[in-house]
Structure 1
Amino acid sequence: MREFLSIMLHREGYRVDAVQDGSQAVERLKQKTYDLVITDIQMPRLDGFGVLAHVLERSPETVVIMITAFSTTEQAVEAMKLGAYDYITKPFRNDEIRLIVKNALERKELRHENLQLKKELGQRYAFGNLIGKSKPMREVYELVEKVADSRVNVLITGESGTGKEMVARAIHYNSERGDQPFVPINCGAIPENLLESELFGHEKGSFTGAIQRKEGLFEVADGGTLFLDEIGELPAMMQVKLLRVLQDREIRRVGGTKNQQVDVRIVAATNKDLESEVAEGNFREDLFYRLNVIRIDLPPLRRRREDIPLLIEHFFEKYSPSEKVDIAEDAMRTLLDYQWPGNIRELENVVERCTVLSQGRGLTSDCLPPQMLRTGTVGSGGLLELPENGLDLDDYLAGIEKDILLKALERTGGVRKKAAELLNISFRSIRYRLAKFGFGEDDDAGGS
């Protein structure tokens, strides 16, 4: 039987070693690691249970299949309880052994891929891999490291595009929940009438279109982390229901009658000034304090300019890994002078654009967006010399206006009301001027 199995598996394309008994198997397993071991249960000197124990101790990823007579299948079942993958009863059919071996090796490969994926995810979102060496970012890393393994809720604040979700993932994957689900939801992107069902699930027939029972994201994230992005957009009624969940650690599906306990860590993020939202009655104070146990403030890119070269290099490797990172001096000066209203997200888009347009020439000024060149010149300070061919006065003045607005927002920490006072204009006027440059109420040129 041993010779027959060896010949058959060779013909199937496998590399096969064969030995006479359990003792010889253990000696061979000490010298070499195998993907699969097929062993009889009844053998002299050392039986199949002894071989199985050695494999589990020395190479737990190796798959073990037991061979047994029909009369001793109870022993084979016991071996499976101890860690064997499957068993085959004698006599067996060739197709049966082929299928079991194929399935066993596929399962081993899948398990290996899953372990690799989890390892890569952990490395990708390790707090050390958040790009930046500036003092504000080092402070963020330290805080992420301190809070990752705790169970407290975290509120991440910062302008749009500063990497709030990346920080949330870093917290999750560096915590004891790292091998459990990380479930993100944008609270401002889902209609109010669907948000409750999305978060808490619903029962069949609870409303028109509810044709079957559905799990909510709290259930999906059970044991892991729920990331509530744009928490400042949460409607008033949902704020009440979320507060109750945070207090009781229980949810109830829409249309349901029973509460269900959930173990979910909440990480929330916003680009709004939630304290101002609370003062104006737009956000519940009690919910704010529930979410704001630990707060991580992400700096805008214009306050961490020394990180710009590192980020450019990182995005170049992402979008053009085979290309050498070569940045022209004038292009780098423009990138460093630019105000970056879209923060890291905008920088990534610019680098991606340049990898397409530069055609292997690195990053040069002619691949930068036109508005960046205009704003970069204005933002560098001093008067622009009038070019020989003249200039577009309206565009030039608009660039100056935009630059001044952004500098005012930077000085006031992104609070538009204070920026308006600094520029001696009305709040309505600054809203209009920012909207003119594409920064609406939901966009973030520097906060709310």
Structure 2
Amino acid sequence: MADKAPSGRILVVDDEASLREVLTIMLQREGYDVETAADGATAQALLRESDFDLIISDIKMPKITGLELLRFVREHAPETMMIMITAFSTSEDAVEAMKLGAFDYITKPFRNDEIRLIVRNALERRALRQENQTLRQELSQRYSFANMVGKSEPMQQVYELISKVAPSKANVLVTGESGTGKELVAKAIHFNSPRRDHPFVPVNCGAIPETLLESELFGHEKGAFTGASGQKAGLFEVANSGTIFLDEIGELPASMQVKLLRVLQEREFRRVGGTKDLPVDVRLIAATNKDLATETKEGRFREDLYYRLNVIHIPLPPLRERSEDIPLLINHFYQSHAGHDVKISDAALRLLLDYPWPGNIRELHNVLERCLVLGSAESIGVDCLPPQVRDAAAGTLLHDLPEDGLDLDAYLAAIERELLLKALERSNNVRTRAAELLKMSFRSIRYRLAKFGLDVDE
């Protein structure tokens, strides 16, 4: 069975009515939407009013020629494909049309199968261009700093730094605890820079064995070592004209620090086993959860490399220092995974805000995924939160009152819920026994269990 032809709007331009009629009938049978114009001026008027995916135009026409129409299309509708019709296969006009950007040309007399194939290929090329453009736009929007989640003052400072540094060529050092989103910042810089249409190559320096790291970064020549059966391009070569992101740069061995410094200074590198220096044009963004200044002072990281990397420093705040962003992050997660916002109970929100989040945003996403699977897709309650989040409040029972105060109702609710769970666990979910342990009536424990969504069957 033949593949279905791509859909499209086609404009046929020719001063011969019979040719317009033949092409219209044939193309409509293929499922295309076809309009016609008897001359170039009419075609220009139609193009000003509506869009076409493809134009099939004769080159030789009175008043406005096909070549003049092609120039008009390239200026006013550059995404529209054009196929030119000529009477002679050696016509200089056909060659000129190809130079001006025509997709192809057809010589008279032509075969219907030939027309069908060229039209299909032209529309497939246009569809591919549109798909690539859409993908680039989606990537740019996805990693645009304007779409990163967070309204807190620390994040506003991050956005401002990204907007200032993205258009430049400067090296950037992104620092922050694990899970704070360092690679997301690197991608935001890349996709808002002039290099956005070129590769973004992430490298985890701590995940590649030291014996393979040089070959991975700079490539190798055939026979450079046992098993090197052919030449291989390194990741710096792959990232040429784009951005290379070196994550966990603090794990880079001393021997590789020297080689990386040379690349940054000379803008060239040498493959393992090679004798020729190869030029490279990359923007370097590095990231670490270590204090590189301390690492430098203690001799574990080269001072000259540190200063080369630290041209622009973007520190990312841990989640516990921007807790006001947690509700936004939660809704963003549910919008992405469930397609809607989510309701959060007051008690659950208080626990989420008070939890210190040692794993930062990555840990928050794990907790939310758990709630989405085990709880309701519409709401988040205390019952779907993992023990470490629920127990965090209870762990502060004997501490002093915080300087900025405390939401007593939410705090006591979290403790009450935890004690109810412990009573149920000790009584094997027998509510009458759990009520006895907590010195309350059966009616009272039933009410409290329902309040926290902890109803159990005896």
TM over 0.5, yes or no? yes
Aligned AA for 1:264? V
SS of 1:132 mapped into structure 2 = coil
Distance 1:304 1:381 in 2: 26
Q: How far 1:71 moved relative to its partner?
A: 4.8
3-state DSSP class of the match of 2:272?
coil
Contact 2:85/2:108, CA 8 A, preserved across alignment? yes
Question: 1:340 touches 1:346 (CA, 8 Å); kept in 2?
Answer: yes
Shift of 1:379: 4.3
Q: After the TM superposition, which residues 24-423 of structure 1 pair with which residues of structure 2 at under 5 Å, given as runs?
A: 24-321=42-339, 323-379=340-396, 382=399, 387=419
User: Which deviates the most, 22-31 or 77-86?
Assistant: 22-31
Instruction: Give me the whole-angstrom Cα distance separating, in 2, the residues matched to 1:185 and 1:335.
Output: 33
Work out whether residues 246 and 284 of structure 2, in 8 Å CA contact, stay in contact via their aligned partners in 1.
Answer: yes
2:36 is paired with a residue of what secondary structure?
coil
CA distance 1:93–1:365, change in 2 (3 Å): same
Q: What SS class does the counterpart of residue 154 from structure 2 fall into?
A: helix
Instruction: Give 3-state SS (helix, strand or coil) of 2:299's partner.
Output: coil
Give the drift of 1:375: 2.1
Q: Supply the AA of the counterpart residue of 1:308.
A: I
Q: CA deviation at 1:162?
A: 0.3
2:90 and 2:62 map into 1 onto residues whose CA distance is: 16
Q: Which residue of 1 aligns with 2:405?
A: none
2:53 partner amino acid: D
Give the 3 Å change call, closer, same or farther, for CA 367–281 of structure 1 in structure 2.
Answer: same
324 and 162 in structure 1: CA distance in 2 versus 1, 3 angstrom threshold: closer
Q: For the Cα contact (< 8 Å) 1:201–1:216, is it kept in 2?
A: yes
Aligned partner of residue 65 in structure 1, secondary structure: strand
**Partner letter of residue 393 of structure 2?**
G
1:14-35 CA distance string (max 9 Å, x none): 0111222223222222222110
Structure 2 letter corresponding to 1:78 = E
Q: Could you give the per-residue CA deviations for residues 323-347 of structure 1, whole angstroms, max 9, x where no partner exists?
A: 4411011110110110100000111
Counterpart AA for 2:169: R
Distance of 1:301 and 1:355 partners within structure 2: 21
Residues matched between the structures, number? 391
1:387 is displaced (CA, Å) by 4.0
Taking only the aligned residue pairs, the percentage that are identical comes to: 64
Write the letter of the residue equivalent to 2:68.
Answer: G
1:18 aligned counterpart, secondary structure: strand
Amino acid of the structure 2 residue aligned with 1:75 = D
Q: Report the residue type matching 1:301 in the other structure.
A: L
Q: Does 1:21 align with 2:28?
A: no
Contact kept? 2:83, 2:103, Cα under 8 Å: yes
In structure 2, the partner of 1:437 is none
Superposed CA deviations along residues 170-201 of structure 1, whole A, max 9, x for unmatched, are 11111222222111110011111111111111
In 2, Cα distance between equivalents of 1:91 and 1:197: 58
User: Does the aligned pair in 2 maintain the 1:155–1:295 contact within 8 Å?
Assistant: yes
Q: Is the 8 A contact 2:342 2:378 kept in 1?
A: no
| Amino acid of the structure 1 residue aligned with 2:128 | L
Asked if 1 retains the 8 angstrom alpha-carbon contact of 2:20 and 2:36, the reply is yes
Cα shift at 1:54? 1.6
Cα offsets for 1:366-411 (capped at 9, x unmatched):
111112211232247649689475799xxxxxxxxxxxxxxxxxxx
Indicate conservation of the 8 Å contact 1:337/1:380, yes or no: no
Match of 1:414 in 2: none
Larger relative contact order (CA 8 Å, sep ≥ 6): 1
Q: Kindly state the Cα deviation for residue 44 of structure 1 after the two structures are TM-superposed.
A: 1.7
Would the aligned equivalents of 1:337 and 1:379 in 2 still touch at CA under 8 Å? no
Which amino acid is 1:77 matched to? V
Over 3 Å counting, the alpha-carbon distance change for 1:304 and 1:35 in structure 2 is same
In structure 2, do the counterparts of structure 1 residues 194 and 352 end up closer, same or farther at CA, with 3 Å as the change threshold? Answer: same
User: What letter is aligned with 1:58?
Assistant: H
Moved over 6 A (4+): 383-386
Which ranges in structure 2 are unaligned for 5 or more consecutive residues? Answer: 1-18, 401-414, 426-458
Q: Is the 8 A contact 1:38 1:67 kept in 2?
A: yes
Distance across 1 between alignment mates of 2:204 and 2:231: 22
In the alignment, structure 1 segments of 5+ residues that lack a partner are 393-448
Cα distance in 2 between the residues matched to 1:76 and 1:315:
55
Q: Any conservation in 2 of the 1:334–1:377 contact (CA below 8 Å)?
A: no
Q: What SS does structure 2 have at the residue aligned with 1:99?
A: helix
Q: Point out the structure with max Rg over C-alpha.
A: 2
Contact 1:335/1:376, CA 8 A, preserved across alignment = no
Q: Distance in 1 between matches of 2:319 and 2:397?
A: 17
- Cα distance in 1 for residues equivalent to 2:283 and 2:57: 46
Q: How big is the shift at 1:148?
A: 1.2
SS at match of 2:33: coil
Tell me the distance in 2 between the aligned counterparts of 1:67 and 1:14: 19
